[in-house]
């Protein structure tokens, strides 16, 4: 098969994988606008020093022997199949690199023949790139769960980042929707990567040798293909960050591609807002010191789709506000909607030298429009505010959303509910859309 045909087939098969930051986006060129993005081809990722790099995104093969219900490449689908050779992937990467189109490679693969064989093909590809072609650019490669530990180790010494996708948020869903995958095998390479990295970090510099997965590991979860609530997903992410020191958990709104009775109908819209809320919650855990239990409780296990998780936490815990920004600790400042880590640091620094006034806060990077409901500044607060959480919610969301929400609550549940119950309504609605009941 010609290389161009293989590229076309495999690009189509790779487009639902979002383990790289921008790979889920498609934006065509428009008159008067500059730039376009493709769901496959070149995507972006972040190196350990925070640089954003362009990566050539390739799927090694789509000739999968597994039959995951949610996947376009499952063996029971009748789609064109193709497989690159290691040499072809290495040549393509170098061609793009030499033309300055990319700074690295993002390589994933379906399972061809068996897990070890697939892993060996990926190793062979990276060996050609690193040893024969001298490629020192960034490589993100998918680990193949179930492959021999020695193979995972070899792959890890050739790559900068590895991802081990947990795919679905529970063992039950995995068993049901990915019957060929062993849920326990998924976590094994994660553990191996964490332990090998740790062992290497204890070695003296002269004995370190080549770095093992220097940019760490990441994972991806599909959202909306299975019935787990938002809290369950956030808890898993928290656990993965803590236990395996993951760099990133990616969430991928489920895009229905197969007609399958176990899955939402193909006409179902991907739950993009839910995905967005998960990323916001993820951010809160990584940079704002929130725990999963604070973001979502057992009583309210789903996101409020009208309020971001931080604002939602603040109105649910309104008794902890207002906070005086002149005296609050850094950790408390971080809890205020509209105050980020940089704003909190600026406040801490500025107040060493002078007494703050409300008028100073904007210059310090605080989003007053959001923060005003939750702060005082040396006892001073924005005039005209009502210290009532329901009033705050209605002020934080747009008037159109507010009206829709009120009407929907009344209509759907036959009673005028508190706005605190908004997530109850939204989740019921989403479930109905997703599962058709």
| Residue numbers at the binding site for ligand SF4 (CB under 6 A) | 64, 66, 68, 71, 73-74, 110-111, 178
For ligand SF4, the closer of residues 177 and 234 by Cβ is 177
3-state secondary structure the chain: CCHHHHHHHHHHHHCCCCCCCCCCCCECCCCCCCCCECCCEEEEEECCCCCEEEEEEEECECCCCCCCCCCCCCCCCCCCCCECCHHHHHHHHHHHHHCCCCCEEEEECCCCCCHHHHHHHHHHHHHHHHHHCCCCCEEEEECCCCCCHHHHHHHHHHCCEEECCCECCCHHHHHHHCCCCCHHHHHHHHHHHHHHHHHHHHCCHHHCCCCCCCCCEEEEEEECCCCCCHHHHHHHHHHHHHHHCCCEEEEEECCCCCCCCCCCCCCCCCCHHHHHHHHHHHHHHHHCCCCHHHHCCCCCCCCCCCCCHHHHHHHHCHHHCCEECCCCCHHHHHCCCCCCHHHHHHHHHHCCCCCCCHHHHHHHCCCHHHHHHHEEECCECCCCCCCCHHHHHHHHCCHHHHHHHHHHHHHHHCCCCCHHHHHHHHHHHHHHHHHCC
For ligand SF4, the closer of residues 168 and 344 by Cβ is 168
In the bound complex, what is the minimum distance in angstroms from residue 247's beta carbon to ligand SF4? Answer: 22
For ligand SF4, the closer of residues 258 and 395 by Cβ is 258
In the bound complex, what is the minimum distance in angstroms from residue 298's beta carbon to ligand SF4? Answer: 31
In the bound complex, what is the minimum distance in angstroms from residue 104's beta carbon to ligand SF4? Answer: 22
For ligand SF4, the closer of residues 220 and 302 by Cβ is 220
In the bound complex, what is the minimum distance in angstroms from residue 180's beta carbon to ligand SF4? Answer: 7
For ligand SF4, the closer of residues 73 and 376 by Cβ is 73
In the bound complex, what is the minimum distance in angstroms from residue 83's beta carbon to ligand SF4? Answer: 12
In the bound complex, what is the minimum distance in angstroms from residue 25's beta carbon to ligand SF4? Answer: 21
In the bound complex, what is the minimum distance in angstroms from residue 140's beta carbon to ligand SF4? Answer: 16
In the bound complex, what is the minimum distance in angstroms from residue 74's beta carbon to ligand SF4? Answer: 4
For ligand SF4, the closer of residues 64 and 315 by Cβ is 64
For ligand SF4, the closer of residues 220 and 346 by Cβ is 220
For ligand SF4, the closer of residues 73 and 346 by Cβ is 73
């Amino acid at each position: 098969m010609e290389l161009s045909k293989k590229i076309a087939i495999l690009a189509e098969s790779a487009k639902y994988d979002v383990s790289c930051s921008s790979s889920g986006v498609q934006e065509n060129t428009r008159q008067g606008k500059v730039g376009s993005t493709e769901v496959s081809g070149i995507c972006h990722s972040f190196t350990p020093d925070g640089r954003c790099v362009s990566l050539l995104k390739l799927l090694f093969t789509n000739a999968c022997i597994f039959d995951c219900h949610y996947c376009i490449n499952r063996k029971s689908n009748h789609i064109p199949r193709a497989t690159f050779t290691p040499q072809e992937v290495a040549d393509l990467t170098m061609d793009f690199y030499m033309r300055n189109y990319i700074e690295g490679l993002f390589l994933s693969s379906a399972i061809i023949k068996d897990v070890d064989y697939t892993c060996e093909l990926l190793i062979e590809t990276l060996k050609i790139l690193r040893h024969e072609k001298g490629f020192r650019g960034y490589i993100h490669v998918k680990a193949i769960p179930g492959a021999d530990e020695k193979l995972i180790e070899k792959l890890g010494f050739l790559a900068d980042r590895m991802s081990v996708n947990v795919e679905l948020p529970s063992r039950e869903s995995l068993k049901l929707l990915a019957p060929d995958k062993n849920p326990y095998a998924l976590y094994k390479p994660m553990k191996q990567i964490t332990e090998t990295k740790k062992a290497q970090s204890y070695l003296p510099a002269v004995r370190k040798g080549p770095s093992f997965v220097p940019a760490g590991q990441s994972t991806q979860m599909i959202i909306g293909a299975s019935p787990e609530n938002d809290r369950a997903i956030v808890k898993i992410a928290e656990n993965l960050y803590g236990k395996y020191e993951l760099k990133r958990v990616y969430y991928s709104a489920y895009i229905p591609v197969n007609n399958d009775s176990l899955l939402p109908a193909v006409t179902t819209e991907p739950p993009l807002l839910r995905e967005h809320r998960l990323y916001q919650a993820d951010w809160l855990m990584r940079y704002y010191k929130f725990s999963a239990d604070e973001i979502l409780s057992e009583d309210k296990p789903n996101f409020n789709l009208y309020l971001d998780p931080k604002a939602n936490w603040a109105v649910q815990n309104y008794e902890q506000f207002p906070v005086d920004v002149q005296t609050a600790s850094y950790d408390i400042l971080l809890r205020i909607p509209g105050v980020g880590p940089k704003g909190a640091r600026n406040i801490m620094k500025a107040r060493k030298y002078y007494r703050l006034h409300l008028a100073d806060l904007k210059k310090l990077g605080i989003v007053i429009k959001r923060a005003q409901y939750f702060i005082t500044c040396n006892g001073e607060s924005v005039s005209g505010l009502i210290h009532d959480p329901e009033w705050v919610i209605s002020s934080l969301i747009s008037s159109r959303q507010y009206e829709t929400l009120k009407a929907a609550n009344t209509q759907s549940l036959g009673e005028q509910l508190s706005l605190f119950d908004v997530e109850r309504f939204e989740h019921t609605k989403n479930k109905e859309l997703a599962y058709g009941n």
